[in-house]
Structure 1
């Protein structure tokens, strides 16, 4: 189908495609990479994008740079950097302001040298541990931490995808890209202003959830574990644990099997159950009845603390608990994780995922919106931000979590990943930065070379290197770059710019810059920030040319505003990741995000005009 067959102007068709694309982004029914790919293919079929150019976006320097940064960020995670940082941050003491200063200040720095989601992933477990050790509500720490990761990304070329996109776009229209630290004068001041606001004022605007979102409260296994005994008459006698699960048609996780006072973790027990065995497992009233009726297991005692005295209570109403020592949960290889918004688990159940067979993991409990779910585990369809309590062997957990798209929050007697070659990974990264600063190599080539060397010398295993590349983001960028170019080539960007120019003819140019900032910022709160930058960049260039001023201040406005997704939990992955652990609700974000956005606007516009004046 060609444009002439449709009978509409190319600019009109572009607006239709982009309107439908934005509506699909906001609706959220389909993942953003699928929406972006649909927009690209639709543009090709309508003749807006030449078929031979359809997939050139996947080889665009911005896409390659983002992929390289993701690999390097994963290398930092494995290098032991988080352990060094955690040791220092946890020494700041009990004062909340100092905790916020340490956490948010650190994530600001890290977000400038690595992917901001990766920086948040490093510090999220540290913040959770700090909240537990000092009896602080996680909600007071996690939202400021997420917003800090966005602010830190403003400071360098590689800190956030919008900066990479804007730099590449500048190269396309003026043959000169922004350098590694071109963003630092504006982004650094904005980040420091945001840090000061969050630490001194902003944290008071975050909701205090009274610790209910703390996994230590939601998943205190001593409050939920029960002991069930295998008797001579039990149907479970002579069955393996897997056969027992098949018999029950339920994925109730057996955490441990106790035989003759010797305990063996459930995931490593492959023998047949014998009379006298004690099964330690998580079960509610419905599951207990199922186990008693179908398997003939009898309750021994429930490991439930009675208020503050620490005593256990008897589950069986007519019999005393047998004199069997309570089973200790220590060493059962439990880990708490949060489901990322790009996880393969979303909208799928335990059975569909084959969590036990394929990944070697047992689901113990699920919490959502700060509350532990009470329904049967096999009936739960996972959602973004869910907190899961999983059990498995250390190696299986470490390998399976990235594949599943889960981020560990806190560990129980478990160390995920081994510190490896910290100095070497930092040296490789520094060499790439020097090559970029001296214009020896362009950013895409320098960072790709650094990623390749990291993989070749074993800083990061090849499999983890591929896992680190965020496929949905790469598809989003590769697909939307040609669509964004179609907005410019069709004349659509000029039409929008002309409308804004007519509106702003009676006002100073700075008023149009403010309007561009607000429009881009609002867009980034409902769609991916990279997509927002791709769509707003051609409009910014058209505006600058219409005013006959320098392109740089307009492009810088888009770069800053596209990364200011502070109003919703869906605008950026960092916001989504803290939704469950912090126990936040959708409407909580704007309470801190709106005044923080105002601070960023008031600081960034004067700084942009000072560092990047309007005069060409």
Structure 2
């Protein structure tokens, strides 16, 4: 009825909806799950998706499987499986090629048995520690690590959401899904050749940034820590720390309060400031002036004679150096964390998030593109990939970071977990795989049961299980599945396929497969790879039908190319996670990503046609 009122064909309307959706994805102003929901509701209003089927995607087997795999991945982390491997990786020595082989090889293997973003998140702190211990630039390790996680996801059904989506789509068309290891012949070939390319040649194409591998280097913390006296006439005398922040109208973090030679961390000091107290805080020249003018806090005088050369420094540097002290920062529980692309912090400020009040975290500094931001903390709106230097309670900081959507980069102590849980975790996963291989249970049920059993027997606490489920990805999949089906039912997929058929009519089908690969790959670099697979699956099916050949090679091409988001930092979460810690820029990714994409194309297509002939 809505379509008749507008006077446009269903295929035209779906193209308009998808076109606007893709523009919104690329723009990035709104998170991709909100964009997907908007596309879904627009499709319902236009009559492209039946209202009673609008939320059918939330019960789709692909969505359930992805959620279950995320829970199982977190279970592997908690049981200690990954930490054992990580401890071995740290022993490789200082040869860059061996470091790359160990890191990228490990993430390739892990990404085949767990979600590839989860595998990268676990090894990212290991890579940072390796870079720090062997004085290696993190930029030489992190991009290869991210790309390795994408390659590893190709090897099995559960490695990456596009594989799960393509398997479910095949089931809806032919009545039989791809199996757990149906993707392995192509995926393993691509992963092995891709790994060899990255380790032997590709790393030379990554920029060697002077991004720092530790908090001390990246944030130069010692140069910004100052001690300020609370004097008798200070306005700060008699104030609590929250009242002090209100007076300043600024989020200058007080790291510690020293009283009678006893130091207490700022987040745990709830008393009233007194004469003689010394505040240890992070402040630049402008902040020092603000502190003195508004609350009468002055820098502690240097006990020793000043260097004669100090007079040669410029005025701003001199002002800053007056407050610098060789302060012992031990016990202040500083930790680095990177802002994920699904973080609630994105495009919000410290005040909007109420970091201290709600999460018990003090923001000390922010680094972007490998360099510390110099602007006031209260003016910073966080972006995906920002590296934060935070202070908080050791017992609560992990939960706070998880809730905020941040990944800890440093101070992550590797633990071997509990042997009993490790064995149980592996056993549960193995039983699920066997059930799938013997066709006893479909993938969604087998993985769902494995995740449920892990929670019931305590391999993973229930709260951690819920936190492991990536809400934005689940909503994206659930919302875009009906929209993808509308592309097919409206005839839009057939129209696109016919254009490709006309274009490739004078060429071998192999050329059309190359075109399908390139089109899907380009799409996956600007939108989420799961969305690319959802949109291209019906188009590939129509294309196969038009050529009157087997559906399988076309679906396999979409599965592989949807995971080849090597050209931009926004195409895949793995790429985004390493953006800040590696000090990369937007244009850095294609330098390694384009040659790697060509390698994948050259390897994948012949293997696909050999395993899945036309």
Common fold, TM-score beyond 0.5?
yes
| Cα offset, 1:317, TM superposition | 7.6
| Cα offset, 1:439, TM superposition | 1.1
Please give the per-residue CA displacement for 1:6-44, whole angstroms capped at 9, x wherever unaligned: 222211221111111111111212211111111111111
> For the Cα contact (< 8 Å) 2:537–2:555, is it kept in 1?
yes
> For the Cα contact (< 8 Å) 1:529–1:563, is it kept in 2?
yes
1:387: which partner in 2?
387
2:475: which partner in 1?
475
Asked if residue 231 in structure 1 is aligned to residue 231 in structure 2, the reply is yes
Secondary structure of the residue aligned to 2:396 is helix
1:375: which partner in 2?
375
Q: For residues 264-279 of structure 1, what are the structure 2 equivalents within 5 Å?
A: 264-279=264-279
Q: For residues 452-531 of structure 1, what are the structure 2 equivalents within 5 Å?
A: 452-531=452-531
> For the Cα contact (< 8 Å) 2:2–2:45, is it kept in 1?
yes
Secondary structure of the residue aligned to 1:378 is helix
Change (3 A) 1:377 1:418: farther
Q: For residues 148-547 of structure 1, what are the structure 2 equivalents within 5 Å?
A: 148-212=148-212, 215-300=215-300, 326-411=326-411, 415=413, 419-420=417-418, 421-547=421-547
> For the Cα contact (< 8 Å) 1:301–1:316, is it kept in 2?
no
> For the Cα contact (< 8 Å) 1:213–1:583, is it kept in 2?
no
| Cα offset, 1:301, TM superposition | 5.8
2:553: which partner in 1?
553
Please give the per-residue CA displacement for 1:433-460, whole angstroms capped at 9, x wherever unaligned: 1111111111101111111111112222
Asked if residue 83 in structure 1 is aligned to residue 50 in structure 2, the reply is no
Please give the per-residue CA displacement for 1:251-295, whole angstroms capped at 9, x wherever unaligned: 111111122222211111112222222111100011111111222
* CA root-mean-square deviation: 2.3
Change (3 A) 1:291 1:432: same
| Cα offset, 1:554, TM superposition | 0.4
| Cα offset, 1:373, TM superposition | 0.8
| Cα offset, 1:134, TM superposition | 0.8
1:27: which partner in 2?
27
Q: For residues 571-586 of structure 1, what are the structure 2 equivalents within 5 Å?
A: 571-586=571-586
> For the Cα contact (< 8 Å) 2:362–2:391, is it kept in 1?
yes
Secondary structure of the residue aligned to 2:154 is helix
| Cα offset, 1:325, TM superposition | 8.8
| Cα offset, 1:395, TM superposition | 2.0
How many Å separate the matches in 2 of 1:598 and 1:496?
24
| Cα offset, 1:417, TM superposition | 8.5
TM-score using structure 2 length: 0.95
Worse-superposed segment, 151-160 or 468-477:
468-477
How many Å separate the matches in 2 of 1:542 and 1:417?
50
Change (3 A) 1:593 1:229: same
| Cα offset, 1:114, TM superposition | 0.7
| Cα offset, 1:321, TM superposition | 8.7
Worse-superposed segment, 156-165 or 500-509:
500-509
How many Å separate the matches in 1 of 2:77 and 2:145?
17
> For the Cα contact (< 8 Å) 2:155–2:191, is it kept in 1?
yes
Please give the per-residue CA displacement for 1:453-497, whole angstroms capped at 9, x wherever unaligned: 111122222122111111111111111111111111111111111
Q: For residues 36-51 of structure 1, what are the structure 2 equivalents within 5 Å?
A: 36-51=36-51
> For the Cα contact (< 8 Å) 2:533–2:558, is it kept in 1?
yes
1:109: which partner in 2?
109
> For the Cα contact (< 8 Å) 1:154–1:184, is it kept in 2?
yes
How many Å separate the matches in 2 of 1:511 and 1:151?
23
Secondary structure of the residue aligned to 1:407 is strand
Worse-superposed segment, 236-245 or 565-574:
236-245
TM-score using structure 1 length: 0.94
| Cα offset, 1:376, TM superposition | 1.1
Worse-superposed segment, 221-230 or 63-72:
221-230
Asked if residue 612 in structure 1 is aligned to residue 603 in structure 2, the reply is no
Please give the per-residue CA displacement for 1:548-571, whole angstroms capped at 9, x wherever unaligned: 111110000000000000000000
Change (3 A) 1:544 1:149: same
| Cα offset, 1:316, TM superposition | 12
* Aligned positions, number: 604
How many Å separate the matches in 2 of 1:450 and 1:350?
39
Please give the per-residue CA displacement for 1:212-240, whole angstroms capped at 9, x wherever unaligned: 47544122322221111112222222222
Worse-superposed segment, 155-164 or 275-284:
275-284
How many Å separate the matches in 2 of 1:87 and 1:35?
41
Change (3 A) 1:302 1:559: farther
> For the Cα contact (< 8 Å) 1:368–1:386, is it kept in 2?
yes
1:310: which partner in 2?
none
How many Å separate the matches in 2 of 1:482 and 1:257?
57
> For the Cα contact (< 8 Å) 2:222–2:327, is it kept in 1?
no
Asked if residue 566 in structure 1 is aligned to residue 548 in structure 2, the reply is no
Name stretches of at least 5 consecutive residues in structure 2 with no aligned partner. Answer: 308-312
How many Å separate the matches in 1 of 2:389 and 2:129?
16
Name stretches of at least 5 consecutive residues in structure 1 with no aligned partner. Answer: 308-312
Please give the per-residue CA displacement for 1:40-97, whole angstroms capped at 9, x wherever unaligned: 1111111111111111111000000011111111122222234322211111010000
> For the Cα contact (< 8 Å) 1:186–1:608, is it kept in 2?
yes
How many Å separate the matches in 2 of 1:12 and 1:257?
65
Please give the per-residue CA displacement for 1:350-407, whole angstroms capped at 9, x wherever unaligned: 1110100100100010011111011111111111110000000112211111110100
